[in-house]
Structure 1
């Protein structure tokens, strides 16, 4: 995880140096990447041809690139922005993880350095007219979450964008031309006008003498983007069963296939993590799970047990809030003030799933981390969270971001024995967090999925699933990245591995969810049945039967002051 900032501005007179980063923006970038701060500048003179500079009175541009680094790949801190040793030529700001490039694993080295080498070599080898195609070809071949800004010196071109699922944040403000400048950044700075860069391709522009001309190269190669091609990853299987679909059971091939896909995704994301600076005594806890106790996160925790060395710990982060409206109701009903944190729905579910994990994974050092947030603390951090999630600005955005923001902060109460309640204050050391996001979209976990099946059968269900997975790259991952990365943590999404997503969208709907057959056949509800059956096969019966609950309601961040506030209400 890193912080990126790019400022492109008309070159000021020598007596007027570029303004430094505003203090607030500087702080946020350093918070995202506490291991290194780097900054480089390039003077860009527009060209009339491939080699000949334009007249001396043409407008020149200054490009200043800033990177902060959270070092999680390789055996050293890769000092960004990445550039040649002579401090000249092309520059890359890289915020992400390249798990595979051109179908092959990157290995244990630094992925940013690998990508920079491939981009530079591709652009240098290409003819002038083919430089864009060469650069885009490299980026299309990257599997993993990323946002980037790449200055290719040979053509004076700036490339920027987000991965095809939008798992990393990148914002943009301003336009070139007419004396104006442009900024790209992982977080919003001071002032208005910030917008999220769409996760729909690679953007490229030449720093020329005229106004701004930005071209977009889609993630899919020509023709493939039509119809049901999803996020540049693959085609959605819209097949309908002939007659009745076969029941989805614990022995169905898709259940075991999902297990293998998740294990491979987790191996990439939890192995070879460097020792955290603030590690526990033996450095054995390097991964934490955002843990409501629900199906998705509990399955990830259970499979981490199979991937990690037996001696490694796994922290389970469970957030509960003091919601004044709910506390008042509890006090009215009980006549006294109960432990409202332990009464929180996600806390109850979390402790139950924690106990089941301990039973089926004996010997694993699972630690339940109870993150309790008083109302006064929520209010104290409110301006910070509102600013971080900008340009998102609804009450629903804020209530979801609160839960993620405080979970990532790293402070709670440690419990290693179920049922004992919060015990000792604990600051978890892990800088890699796992999220179960994506499972509902891929496997039919939302309430609208059975509704679609009831109204139109399999055609309706297929259309609804395609709608959900097709807009994954347009959802709220950028917002979530900004909220959690502020604490120098990187969130990884095993369900959103490109190969897992490709398998899931290629799998017929009735092999993922089974609204045609009731619980009496398989023992679990139809929504996300393939994932529920996987949990059953791994001995987690209670987890397999957990109901879906939105994070803002499970942690009680929603409607803190009034039950009448709608999620779509703009933040005041």
Structure 2
């Protein structure tokens, strides 16, 4: 992974670094930093390239990479399939070699289309005076852009600045890749670029591009949608509608015990689908936990508590399955870090909660792990995700008692939250700015930092995770109808409405989640990896009819992500297989630390206020 930066100026000019942006970029890539300036003679332009490398595989290859003919590559990505990368080989070098051999736009598009894995890139073609850039199909790597009178700036991460003369940063839409004709742009005195969209998104891609981009691209710039495009790396979503299944009826049995739910799961004849998902998801995890620096693979570290892999861990079904599958592919003598974050519940709120009587909710199953105990605890950090996380730890220890599972309890006070939001997080979340972005961004930043304690021999021991790779479960809810809004849509519009909602989820995941999470996790010199968004996993899930993936006529904790729950049972997990979905901002209780009456979609004044101080 890298922090990459490119400034395109349509006339040679003196360049001065924004010190805060440079600091953010270096934190993403602590192993190597280099700058390179290219000046065009005819036409006259200037490109400033900067790259900051986090060494993840093969021999360390400093960037920017300049080949023998003067082409320059900035590559922030990982190749998990599609292009051959030999053991000990660096994927940046592989991409550079392949792009250098391309003689036409279609050949470049073919190379990019073949890559399985996350990527963001900038590529300068010297002979043609072209500047290419873009993000992968899901937008798993951050890339921001900013237009101004002099040209265009691209960066993995920016900084929030306030003022009437400041041009706004925006996320580069992951609807395709972009090419700037430097000669034409220099002659016109403004940026001219062409968009090569992902093919089967078709009109949707163009519509999305128009809605999200034309609003802030300067009117002086020219945008052209090319007839050429990239071949999508995943199968289209199966839009089949069942003819015989009841569309919207919700089964009233919402008080089933764990045993009853387990019997319901076991009774469904889903063996083929479950085994296929286990196979494809296990392979996705293997690629991500074994694609580590060559020296780590060659000389495995001793069992000293220093892990190569960590998991954002709530004890819920998504993170439990990732942990169970990682256990298959990481040598048993190596530890795995389970990062569990909790935000302090304020004293007044704890007292008010302790005197509340338990309420019975219709259609809301009892969490089998808490058994109502969460409301009775006196600890200010015994939030729901901490309780389910500890229960999940016990399941994993039963699954493999020889493995050292480092359950890292990361406790955050309101004072530390406010301090780090002001100093760092508000800049990393930018340009996103909603209450939800603040909550998730802060929770993920503290979790990925991995600083807390573990319990050894009954005592707390300070601990900071050393893992460079962090697995996250994002993508499971979006594909398997895990959110409450999916139930609402199903109840209102049946399977047709649910399918439309699921199609929209993946189309917008880059702009809602992935760029932000990449910026936040990368700030610690660590790399986020998303097994549920592996191309083969998405293709398999897209190939299935929706009723094989979820049955929202069943109660919470069963119907949503039903196929994944069956998978959990197949892997030997029990209680976690029937836990209802709980969003991170509520499970970690960060949402309870701030204003209680905010909407997730509201602009977050805390982000803007802190960044302007």
Q: Give me the TM-score of the superposition, normalised by structure 1.
A: 0.87
Tell me if the contact between 2:143 and 2:172 (Cα under 8 Å) persists in the aligned partners.
Answer: yes
| CA–CA distance in structure 2, aligned partners of residues 273 and 8 of structure 1 | 33
Cα deviation, 1:173-231, whole Å, max 9, x if unaligned, reads: 114xx6x132100111464411110001010011122232110001227969799x997
Task: Tell me which residue corresponds to 1:294.
Answer: 316
CA contact (8 A) 1:25 1:190 kept: no
Q: 1:466: how far off?
A: 2.0
2:3 aligned with 1:3, yes or no? yes
Question: CA 1:481–1:222 in 2, change beyond 3 Å: closer, same or farther?
Answer: closer
Is 1:356 equivalent to 2:375 in the alignment? no
| Deviating more after overlay: 458-467 vs 370-379 | 458-467
8 Å contact kept, 1:231–1:470: no
SS in 2 for 1:285: coil
Structure 1 segment 316-335 matched on structure 2, within 5 A = 316-324=338-346, 327-334=347-354
Q: What corresponds to 2:595 in structure 1? A: 562
Alignment partner of 2:436 out of 396, 413, 416: 396
**What is the aligned partner in structure 1 of residue 362 from structure 2?**
none
Matched, 1:171 2:144: yes
* 1:440 aligned residue: 477
Deviation per residue, 1:415-434 (Å, 9 max, x gap): 368xx5x7100011101000
Q: Is residue 2:63 matched to residue 1:90?
A: no
User: Would the alpha carbon gap of residues 504 and 46 (structure 1) be closer, same or farther in structure 2, given more than 3 Å must change?
Assistant: farther
Structure 2 counterparts to residues 60-139 of structure 1, below 5 A: 60-74=44-58, 76-84=59-67, 89-102=70-83, 104=84, 107-122=87-102, 126=103, 131-139=104-112
Distance 1:226 1:215, change over 3 A: closer
Would you say 1:385 and 2:425 are equivalent positions?
Answer: yes
Could you tell me the TM-score, scaled by structure 2's length?
Answer: 0.81
1:526 aligns with 2:585: no
Q: How far apart in 1 are the matches of 2:231 and 2:350? A: 46
Find 2:197's aligned residue among 193, 214, 218: 218
Match of 2:181 in 1: 206
Q: Which residue of 1 aligns with 2:223?
A: none
Give the equivalent residue in structure 1 for 2:157.
187
1:359 offset after TM fit, Å?
A: 0.9
SS in 2 for 1:441: helix
User: Is 2:427 the counterpart of 1:426?
Assistant: no
- Shift of the alpha carbon at 1:100? 1.7
* Partners of 2:93 and 2:8 in 1: CA distance: 23
Contact 1:367–1:416 (CA under 8 A) maintained in structure 2 = no
1:241 aligns to 2:242 (yes or no): yes
Counterpart of 1:475 (choices 503, 512, 527) is: 512
Residues 481-519 of structure 1: per-residue CA shift (max 9 Å, x gap) = 111111101010000001111111111111111234569
Q: Tell me how far apart the structure 2 counterparts of residues 540 and 386 of structure 1 sit (CA, whole Å).
A: 38
| Residues 26 and 280 of structure 1: CA distance in aligned 2, closer, same or farther (over 3 Å) | farther
Aligned equivalents of 2:475 and 2:433: distance in 1?
22
CA distance change for structure 1 residues 556 and 507 in 2, over 3 Å: closer, same or farther?
Answer: same
Cα distance change on mapping 1:442 and 1:337 into 2, 3 Å: closer
Contact 2:38 2:46 (8 Å CA) reproduced: yes
2:30 and 2:550 map into 1 onto residues whose CA distance is 43
Tell me the distance in 2 between the aligned counterparts of 1:337 and 1:310.
Answer: 35
How far apart are 1:237 and its partner, in Å? Answer: 0.6
Q: 1:538-553 maps to which residues of 2 (within 5 A)?
A: 538-553=571-586
CA distance in 2, matches of 1:416, 1:356: 18
Aligned length: 532
- Does the CA contact (< 8 Å) of 1:321 and 1:375 recur in 2? yes
Map of 1:54 onto structure 2: none
SS in 2 for 1:28: helix
Check conservation: 1:366, 1:416, Cα contact below 8 A: no
Helix, strand or coil at the partner of 1:423: strand
Q: CA–CA distance in 2 between the matches of 1:518 and 1:379?
A: 38
Aligned-partner Cα distance in 1 for 2:201–2:581: 39
Q: What is the Cα deviation at residue 281 of structure 1?
A: 6.6
Please report the RMSD computed on the Cα atoms of aligned residues, expressed in angstroms. 2.8
Say whether 1:34 aligns with 2:74.
Answer: no
Which ranges of structure 1 fall in alignment gaps of 5 or more residues? 48-59
Q: Tell me the equivalent position of 1:50.
A: none
> Aligned with 1:98: secondary structure?
coil
SS of the aligned residue for 1:475 comes to: helix
Distance (whole Å) between structure 2 residues aligned to residue 474 and residue 284 of structure 1: 34
Q: Would the aligned equivalents of 1:108 and 1:272 in 2 still touch at CA under 8 Å? A: no
Give distance in 2, aligned partners of 1:355 and 1:10. Answer: 60
* Cα distance change on mapping 1:230 and 1:548 into 2, 3 Å: farther
Cross-structure match for 2:406: 367
Counterpart of 2:255?
Answer: none
Cα distance change, pair 315–250 in 1 and its aligned pair in 2 (3 A): farther
Contact 2:302–2:334 (CA under 8 A) maintained in structure 1 = no
Q: Secondary structure at the match of 1:143?
A: coil
Distance 1:310 1:253, change over 3 A: same
Q: Is the contact between residue 143 and residue 171 of structure 2 (CA under 8 Å) also seen in structure 1? A: yes
2:276 pairs with 241, 254, 257, which one? Answer: 257
How far 1:311 sits from its partner (Å)? 1.3
Distance in 2 (alpha carbons) for counterparts of 1:190 and 1:107: 40
Q: Higher helix fraction: Structure 1 or Structure 2? A: 2
**1:334 Cα deviation after fit:** 4.5
Q: Is the 8 A contact 1:321 1:373 kept in 2?
A: yes
Q: Secondary structure at the match of 1:412?
A: strand
Residues 165, 231 of structure 1: 8 Å contact kept: no
Check whether the contact 1:3–1:67 (CA below 8 A) recurs between aligned residues. Answer: yes
Look up the match of 1:270: 289
CA distance in 2, matches of 1:194, 1:161: 15
Q: Secondary structure at the residue paired with 1:31? A: helix
Classify 1:207/1:260 alpha carbon distance in 2 versus 1 (closer, same or farther; 3 Å).
same
